[in-house]
Structure 1
Amino acid sequence: MVSFFSQWYKQKFSDPNAVTLVVILLMAFLAIYFLSSLLMPVFVAIAIAFLLDLPVNRLGNFGLSRRFSTVIIVVAFVGVALLGFLGLMPVIWQQSSNLIQEVPQMLSQGQTYLLTLPEQYPEYIKAEQIQSVITLVNDKLIEWGQVALKASLNSISDIVALLIYLILVPLMVFFFLKDKKELLAGFSQFLPKDRKMASQVSDEMNQQIMNYIRGKVIEILIIGTASTVAFVILGLNYAVLLGVLVGLSVLVPYVGATIVTFPVLLVALFQWGVGAEFGYVMLAYGIIQALDGNLLVPLLFSEAVNLHPVTIIIAVILFGGLWGFWGVFFAIPLATLVKAVLNAWPSSTMSAEASNPK
């Protein structure tokens, strides 16, 4: 057994480039795991910088300096973000408040309907079963209410953190874009010289992450806008709120679409009951989800989603558990990183053995 592990270690770690890659990945993982709460504004700024790097480069192709191109793109991005935020937030807040006020009425109607089921289907459903379900739902609602109250008490610190984000993140995005080459050159000075394998993985992942962030933002905007327009045309209550939720649900592959189906279904069900309008809403929602999964995702992520669905779900669970929202957001690129490392490792080892024959 000892000789087996010794042989495996010599085979996989005889190349200094492989050791360098392992050290870089380990240090990056430890830094993100233990310092993620402190460095979160930096991670947000890096993600936005990835998103805006392409338009900055495009402006540079027209002869503009890197500084001037960065100023134009960052100012335009901040302006559009503020307009969208200020335009959507009042509507979302109002619809959220109305929905919360209507929840007790929905629950009352739901309990009344459930209590009629034992009379309609006495051979299948017992009154005790319905009562236990109602009790369980009430207990969960009380628990969620306590969580919401606790979150509201911590809202002051959240507002302060948001103000910090609004000031620091745009500044960091500007400097990340303007001084991209200088920052990368300065960071590379601290890395070992034997980093050919790490550079190979880095070049591949740089393009992957850039394409993924850009594609994910485009997907959120398209799905959210299409859902909102469809819900408004069909007359569904809380159309903007539900449209935003559907757009954000694409952040979590497979799982997000399943979860957000329930609020759409319940709002339509309590608004119209089981009828034609309810069917139209669910049909439109199903068409949007089908177009997203079968047309939009393959177009936007033709390279990034070259992973098995089980792999993606495991990556969402694993990285989401480690880093929360951003772990979920970057689950696919991180899974692709693992795949890129596994693919590059044997080729680098074999090339090292070929260059140093016995």
Structure 2
Amino acid sequence: MADLSSNAPPNQIWVAVKKQKVWIASGILLLLVAALSPDQARDSLGFVAQSLLTTAPYLLLSIGIAAWAVATGADNLIARAFTGSPVLMIFLAALAGGLSPFCSCGVIPLIAALLTMGVPLSAVMAFWLASPVMDPSMFLLTSGVLGFEFAIAKTLAAIGLGVAGGFIVMALAGSHILHDALRDGVGNGGCGAAKIRNPKTVVWRFWNHGDRVEKFGKEAFKTTLFLAQWLTLAFLLESLMLAYVPAETITSVLGGTGIGPIAIATVVGVPAYLNGYAALPLISGLMEQGMAQGAGLAFLVAGGVTSLPAAIAVWALVKPRVFTLYIAISLGGAFMIGLAYQGWTLI
């Protein structure tokens, strides 16, 4: 742990604080609630504990999948999605983005590698759009919080958005928008390039290798801390939302079956989305108060694709006009997905 004593350098203290910023935010929020309403603080703590206990089986499965992917090297399989005809690449890239347990920290170097190695932007866009919305861990948590049917819908939405975006980019090939798409100075992708050029063999029986067992343990610990901090904050926010936001307000703004609530949820999802794990219990609480299911899905899709990590990955590598296209496809696709799912739930 970082030394937080008075003798620690200021920059070291700041780094340690940044690493714990989510826990600190939860603590400050709880202290504020306790100062204003001790009973609500006690109720919120109970709500957080009960919610974590309810989702514990899904959390354990999610942590196991994330650690398994790193220990076995299964993320190397993503390299196989970018070979073949352009149409095939779009479908495989969308599947890889929506279904693979790919580590978010490797997205930028991986995408840089794909772009600079000549992989068509259509396939890259398909991966970009699908990747932030769904992965196996997210599927399990979505099933636990919002139900299996909603998790299936979100998975299909991720893949469908990726495929649609890929074909839109393919149709615009040769246009000014896609000409010279890369930013100046984008390199060969570093470690991400190695996965594309020389994909390593996946070691399924990782427990026979001491170094891979160590990787499993480290990844499991890291994922546990990540999920614990974000879900604690999310459930705390949900408890306050349920306590102080009138249900009739949610119903009037985001309820119903019209286009309006879905359009609002699509736009609101951009600034309000914390991350994929934190958003699930928040949407669950909103749905309990009358939010339409189509609006909920639109919020999760729009928020996921335009979330800060996902957007930064795109902005860092391509020219602003390509980034604008990415945002337009994201929001337009999320809105259409919300409409389609809302229509499905009414059948």
Using the size of structure 2 for normalisation, the TM-score is 0.28
Which of 1 and 2 has greater Rg? 1
Structure 1 length-normalised TM? 0.27
Structure with the bigger percentage of helix: 1
Greater relative CO, 1 or 2 (CA 8 Å, sep 6+): 1
